[in-house]
Structures are given as C-alpha cells and as structure tokens.
Structure 1
Amino acid sequence: MNEITLAGVLLVLMFAFLGSGALIGAALLGLGIVMIDLFTTRPVAPAMATAIWSNTSLWSLAALPLFVWMGEVLLRTKLAGSVFTGLAPLVRHVPGGLLHANIGGCTAFSAVSGSSAATLMTVGRITLPELRKRGYPDSLSCGTLAGAGTLGLMIPPSITFIIYGLVVEESIARLFMAGVIPGLMLAGMFFLYIYVWGLVSADGKRLREPPAPWSERLRGLLNLAPIAGLILIVVASIYTGFASPNEAAVIGLLGAFGLAAATGSLDWQSFVGSLDGAVRTTSMIFLLLAGAAVLNIAMGFSGLPRELANWVGTLNLSPTMLLLVLMVFFMVLGCFLDGMAMILLTIAVLEPLVRSAGIDMIWFGVFVVLVGEMALITPPVGFNLFLVQSLSGRDMGFLARAAAPMFAIMVVAALLLIAFPQIALWLPGMMTGR
C-alpha cells in the first residue's frame, strides 16, 4: 500500500472514530490499535504498553498537573475577580473601554493557568455579565472572549508547549520563552482591533467612560499586583535558569496557595474543588497523550511519516510554501479537532518533514500552537465557542461570526511569524546566548 492510499485510509478511520462520539483521546487510541493490527506485523499489546508507558512516565510531565492545579487554585479564589476590578479603572476611558478587560484578563490568566479553557471560563464568568450590564454589544464581548481565551495555549506556562516539547524532544524552557513575544504580540493585535473599533464606531464612542480618579487607578494596580507578581516569579525563574519548568511549577503552585491564603479564600471546599478540577483536566490530557503515543508508534511502524516526507520532498516546496500549505491544512483540520488533539495527531507525521525542510523546531512549535489556537474558534467544533455559548446562551452561528475577526487577526499573526521568525526565536536565543 503506497503512502497516499495509507494516508487516505488513515483519514477515513480517523473521522470514523471521531464521529462515533468517543472521547478524542480514546478515538486516537483506537485508531492506533487498528493501524498496528492492520498495517504492521507488530503485536498490539506490547507495542501499546511500551508506547503509553514511555510517553506518560516522563519526569518533564510533572510540571503539567502542577501548572493546571495552580490555575484551578486561582480560579476559585478572590484573585480571579480582582483582575477585572483592577483592569476596569485603568482601561474604561480608552477607546474600546471595558472590552480591553476581556483581553487583558485572558492575557493575565493565560500566564498563570496554562489552560485555554480555565482562562476563558474564569474571565468570562466575571466580564460577560458586567459588559452586558453596561450595554456592550454581545458580538464584541463574546468574540473578544473567545479569541483572547486562546492565549492560554501560547503564553507560558503553556500546557501545549510542555506536550509538544516532550513529543519532539525540544527544551520546554526554550519553548516557553519562544511563546512570550508571539503571545504578547497577538494580545496586542486584539487590543488594537478593539481600540480602532472604539475610535470609529458609534457604539464605541457612546460607551467610553470618563477617566477614573487616580486613587481608583492606584487601587486597581494594587488589585493586579498579586497576579502580576506570580507571573513574574514563575516566568523569571525559568528565564534566568534559577528553576526548571518542573521547579517553576512548584513555585507557582505554592505561590497560588499563598495568595489564596492571604486573601482569606483558601478553605477546605476551595482546596478540594481545585484538586478535583486539576485531576479531571490532567486525566483528560494524559488520555490524549496515551492515544497519541499509540497512534504515533503505529504510524512509525507503518513507515507513513518517512514516506510522506519523501513524497513531499519530491514536490520541491520551499520552506515558506510548505508552511503556508501546513497552515491551510491545520485550518481545515481545526474544523474537526481542538488544538491540542490536532497537534498530537499530526506531529509524528510532520516532524521529519519539518526537520528535513530545515525549519527550527522551537519556531515550529510556536507556529503550530498559534494555528492550534485558531482551531479553538473554528466552527463547527471550536472548543472555545462552546465554552462561550455556555456562558452567554447565544447560538453557535452568532458566536462563529463574532469570533471571525479574531480568527482573521490570528491568520495575520501567523503570516507575520512566517515572515519574521525572530519574533519567536529572539528570546530563546538570548536565553542560550545565541
């Protein structure tokens, strides 16, 4: 069976498993088992056991549940509400007004939770009711929340970067650093879009409020200080080499517990709730990892990645053209899979192809995470759209249209990343002295 036929069979099987309604991790696991059984001579059970154990028992994965738990602790404390109350007096007089709090809140929580879902739900529960009460259009409120909520995939500590780094065997610390500038650039582009809307639209001009007194702004800064301090400590400890990602995760978790205790919101109920949320999220991620591990080893046994890399090599695509093709491919795949599942499903096939094209794997990690962010707001299965729907009660068609400008901004950001690779590579280069 040639590589094109095998790839076609793989796609048919993949959509059959996903269409069955199974969990994505279980679907990947089932697809891997079928591939090993049908297209290789390897015994299924030993191959599956080896793949799952070797990919889920890595020491580097210890950072993942700790960062998830840190976000869950903050989600259940008074610190979550303090982000909006801190940002509101600082931005309400700026064109775009309190919509900037949506983006700013998501940016701040992305830097402490590492999870897109936790970021969006935490910020959305606080901002959407307040924005509606003040008359902001639902299209802007929901669209900016869905778009900015994706920043949890990019801004460190990103769970997706941890998984990508383990799969391709690249430095997680360098990936974290590579995501800082692109993540802030994307947040800045969201801010600019809202700023322009506030300048030129009738609603934007009507909703601008007078500047807050300086005393109120100072209180806002004081409300933001705990979150900002925790972000700075976690990121700086990795950047300076003081701590590994695992150690930084411990520092962040202890810091989150310390802040929760200082605000008086750390009780037995919040502790158990945060632990339960962390266990559920981590279990879901590990099921994805296990499924992807079995599927990846099945594809390795079949020789599909190598054959596809050789076939694409015969097309003589330049690295830029290859990246543009991959971006379109990910956009289509994002209609059916969320960002993390999409990355885990494809990286085994794409890694040899990307390396043979001379593309830096740290840079490619940022690129693939950025395109993975698009999948979170791509209908019909954009995960962030479902989360916003649960918060707002609006139908999926309305939310897809509301998020379309944010999707377009992400496309522009991806093109800028291709045109100027140093956006992602400058900071990790500084980290390693290159």
Structure 2
Amino acid sequence: MEIYHVVLITLGLLIALLCIRMPVALSLGLSGGIGLMLLRGTDYSSNTLGSVPFADTASFTLTIIPMFILMGMFAVRANIASNVFAVANYFARRAPGGLGVATVMACAGFSAVSGSSIGTAATVSRLAVNQMRASGFPSSLATGIVAIAGTLGVMIPPSTFLVLYAVLARESVAALLAAGIIPGLLSALSYIIYIMIAGQRRVRTELARRETNQDTDSDGEPLGAAVEEARRELEQKATNLRELPWRGLVHVVIIFLVVMGGMYSGIFTSTESAAVGALTALVILIIEKRRSGLRQIFTAFKDSLLDTAQSTSMVFFIIIGSGIFSAFLVTAGVTQSVTEWVTDLPLNPMLIMALLLLALIPLGMFLESMSILVLAVPLLYPIATELGFDGIWLGIMIVKLIEIGMVTPPVGIITFVIAGTSRVRSETVFKGVMPLLVMDLLVTAVLFLVPGITLFLPSLMN
C-alpha cells in the first residue's frame, strides 16, 4: 500500500472517530496506532505504542502542569476571585459599563493565579453574570464578557498551555510565560474599550426597555430570583476603601511574585517556582479557612487534590494520544513533506504563516483546545522556524488563536461552561461573544504584524 493511501486512511479514521464523539485522546491514539501498523507492521507499531507514552510524559518539565493546576484549585477555594472582583468593582463602578470593566479586571487578576481559562470563566461567571444582568446588562453581553475574558487564563501566566507548548517545541518555559504578559493585557484592554463604548450604549437601551418589561431582558432570558438576589447584593457592596477585601488582591500579588519573581530572579527554576506557588496558595487557603475549622480546611484540600488529579489525567492522556499520532506523522514523512512543500511555495513568508495560523480557528470550532495545541505544534513549529519566525512568538500566536477557538461556535467549550453556570441558553452566550471576538481578532492582527510586542519581555530576560 502506498504511503499516501495509509495517510488518507488514517486521517479518515481520525475524523470518523471524532464524529462519533470518541474522546480526542483515544481517537488520536487509536488512529495513530492503526496507521503505524499499516505503515510498518505489528512489531514496529507495538514497540512504538509501548515506548511513546513513556517517552512523551517522562519529562521533568511537565511536572509544572499539575503544580499550576493545583495552585489554581487552591486559589479558587481561597475565595481569591470573589475578593479581587469586589475590589475591581469598587474602582470601576463609575466607569461606563463599570461592572463589565470590573469583570474583565477580575478575570485578568484571577488568571494570574489560576492558569486555567475554564476555571477562571466558571468562577467569575458565578460572581459577575447575575450582578451585571441586575445592573442593566443584557444576558448576551453579560455572559459574553465573562466568556471572552475567561480566555485570558491561557495567556496570562502561569498558563498550562504556554508550558505545554514550551515542552512540545523545546522552548524556554520562562521566556514563554514572560511573552504572554503583554498580549494578555492588550486583550483585556481591548475588551474594556468595547465595554466602555459599545457595551455602555446597550446597557442604557436595556434599562430603558426594562421600564416597560420587568420579566425578561432583550435576549428573551427571564429575570428571575437569582437576578433579584444579585440586585440586593449590589446594594450591599462596600462603599469605602476600608470595607474592601484587600487581602484578595494581596494574595494575587504574593502568588504572582512568588512564581514569576522567583523564576526570573533565579531563586527557583521554572519547575520549582510552580511547586512553591502551589505551596503558597495552600498557605493562603489555610489562612482564609482558619475560622471554618480543620474539617473545612481538609475538605477544601482534598477536593483540590481530586480536581487536580482529574485535570492532570486529562492533559496527560491527550499528550499520550497526540504523541502516538505524531509518531505516525513523522514515520510517514508527513511533517517533513509538509514543511518542504510549504516553504517552497512562491508566496511571502508572512502570508504563508498567516494562512497556517488562521487554519487553527476552524479547528477550534470542532476540536478540544489542548488537542489542537498538541497537534499543531509538531506541524507548524518546523515550518515557522524554517521560514525564519521566532518560536516564542509562534507559541503566543498559536495560543491566542486557540483562545479564540475556545469561544467560537459550534463547540466553544467556555461558552457552554458559562451557559451552564449562569443558566442561560448557549446561543445567548454566543451572541454576546461575537462582537468581542472582533476585538480579539484585531489584537491578534497587531501581535502578528508587530512581533516585537510579544518578544519585548523575553528580550529583557536575555
């Protein structure tokens, strides 16, 4: 059988398995294993299936991932997000669309200690969506803001996506984490600009409409007891600086300085900084829960460990599946052939890179984000470096486009998380996300055309 026949059969099998909703990790591993068997026989495929899972996961650097996840789980249970949101809400209350601005600020702040977009979005959604709806935000705008701002968790360090990219591409973890700071802050600023201009107009229109209809908003979502309770919470908000829960902001700064400051000062290695960050978050959790008793502390600790184990298992399962499929692509010569074909195209390298990166957006509409990352890096990294692009810049661009895919229909996993936690229809969330996606695409275009923005902080490290 010709090699290209085997490649087509394997790709067809992968698509078929994904269509019947088999887990992505199993789809990748099974199709890659069958492809290796068709290509080289059972002996070669069995040896590869026996060695690849160990080889791809036996990396000391990968221990950063469970440590960052554990740090985020401790931070969630230490109520850091709610405290940061309260402080942000106080300072943004007089700005146009103040609650929306505060939500973006809270997501950005919590991303600095959570490392997870889904965790950030789910946590802030419970705090902010109903309060925004109670203050006049249409349901689509309120949920759309939380969904798009939640994606900051994969960009603002510590980020498990950036760590995984660094491992797959053999780039510096510290440089990747530093490179994510400015793009993450630029993204947050673009959301705030939209909220203060276009979002505020929608709030005024919504408030005028509610004078005649108190039962539903302009999106047809009911304004029930949860929104009424949120309205009462807004009336009880802190009215002076002394009443604010400053400890939440202090905790964010402490964790961020321990992780990033320890890493860049040379006190800790990247791996050690993640472990020390998790320990710091645990101490903060104990301090926050000390009045609740040992039972509550132990329960929070146990639940954090269980959630971390579940998330870590999912990540490593995907790494193993993608490793098997990548081994098939390398064995079949697909990676090398694609690299040679793309680099020989009579097109400008910037145009080639733009087309390849844009292909990640439709992938994000159907595949899980972590799977896109582990599939895209082995294919795009050799092409980008061959064309003369920086590997750190490429990592930020890939993660940024994956970030966009996390809220793009029809899959958009974060939008479904927001729909579930806020109890609104998923189509309402998608409706609110779309105009904010335009802001995200504009920021992505700027980062693509001006690589110096992304590479500024890593260059200072050098």
TM score, norm. by length of structure 2: 0.88
- Identity among equivalent positions (%) equals 29
Bigger drift between 258-267 and 418-427 goes to 258-267
2:441 matches 1:430:
no
Aligned match of 1:80: 81
What one-letter code is carried by the residue in structure 2 that aligns with 1:160? F
Instruction: Give the conservation status (yes or no) of the 8 Å contact 2:136–2:206.
Output: no
**Of 367, 387, 395, which aligns to 1:357?**
387
The alpha-carbon distance between structure 1 residues 322 and 205, as it changes in their structure 2 partners (threshold 3 A), is: same
The alpha-carbon distance between structure 1 residues 111 and 3, as it changes in their structure 2 partners (threshold 3 A), is: farther
Instruction: List gaps (5 residues or longer) in structure 1.
Output: none
Aligned match of 1:267: 297
Aligned with 1:192: secondary structure? helix
Aligned match of 1:16: 16
The alpha-carbon distance between structure 1 residues 389 and 131, as it changes in their structure 2 partners (threshold 3 A), is: same
**Of 260, 265, 273, which aligns to 1:235?**
260
Deviation at 1:228, TM superposition (A): 2.4
Aligned equivalents of 1:327 and 1:5: distance in 2? 27
Aligned equivalents of 1:391 and 1:131: distance in 2? 14
Aligned match of 1:165: 166
Deviation at 1:323, TM superposition (A): 2.1
2:375 matches 1:345:
yes
Aligned match of 2:39: 39
Aligned match of 2:311: 281
Aligned match of 2:137: 136
* 1:200-249, Cα deviation, whole Å (9 max, x unpaired): 44528969x99x98833772545422222222322222222222221111
Deviation at 1:386, TM superposition (A): 1.1
Bigger drift between 139-148 and 397-406 goes to 397-406
What one-letter code is carried by the residue in structure 2 that aligns with 1:285? V
The alpha-carbon distance between structure 1 residues 324 and 6, as it changes in their structure 2 partners (threshold 3 A), is: farther
Aligned equivalents of 2:80 and 2:116: distance in 1? 17
What one-letter code is carried by the residue in structure 1 that aligns with 2:70? W
Aligned equivalents of 2:79 and 2:378: distance in 1? 42
Aligned match of 2:279: 254
Aligned equivalents of 1:238 and 1:21: distance in 2? 40
Aligned equivalents of 1:204 and 1:148: distance in 2? 23
Instruction: Give the conservation status (yes or no) of the 8 Å contact 1:174–1:362.
Output: yes
Instruction: Give the conservation status (yes or no) of the 8 Å contact 1:154–1:370.
Output: yes
The alpha-carbon distance between structure 1 residues 408 and 113, as it changes in their structure 2 partners (threshold 3 A), is: same
What one-letter code is carried by the residue in structure 2 that aligns with 1:150? T
Aligned equivalents of 1:133 and 1:334: distance in 2? 33
Aligned match of 1:177: 178
Aligned equivalents of 2:5 and 2:360: distance in 1? 20
Aligned match of 1:61: 62
Aligned equivalents of 1:200 and 1:81: distance in 2? 27
What one-letter code is carried by the residue in structure 2 that aligns with 1:22? M
2:418 matches 1:376:
no
Deviation at 1:3, TM superposition (A): 8.2
Count of aligned pairs: 430
**Of 342, 345, 348, which aligns to 1:312?**
342
Aligned equivalents of 2:279 and 2:33: distance in 1? 40
Instruction: Give the conservation status (yes or no) of the 8 Å contact 1:35–1:298.
Output: yes
Aligned match of 1:406: 436
What one-letter code is carried by the residue in structure 2 that aligns with 1:297? A
The alpha-carbon distance between structure 1 residues 3 and 40, as it changes in their structure 2 partners (threshold 3 A), is: closer
* 1:45-72, Cα deviation, whole Å (9 max, x unpaired): 2112221111111000111101101101
Instruction: Give the conservation status (yes or no) of the 8 Å contact 1:96–1:197.
Output: no
2:364 matches 1:334:
yes
Aligned match of 1:195: 196
Instruction: Give the conservation status (yes or no) of the 8 Å contact 2:137–2:202.
Output: no
Instruction: Give the conservation status (yes or no) of the 8 Å contact 2:156–2:180.
Output: yes
Aligned with 1:342: secondary structure? helix
Aligned equivalents of 1:292 and 1:254: distance in 2? 31
What one-letter code is carried by the residue in structure 2 that aligns with 1:371? L
Aligned with 1:170: secondary structure? coil
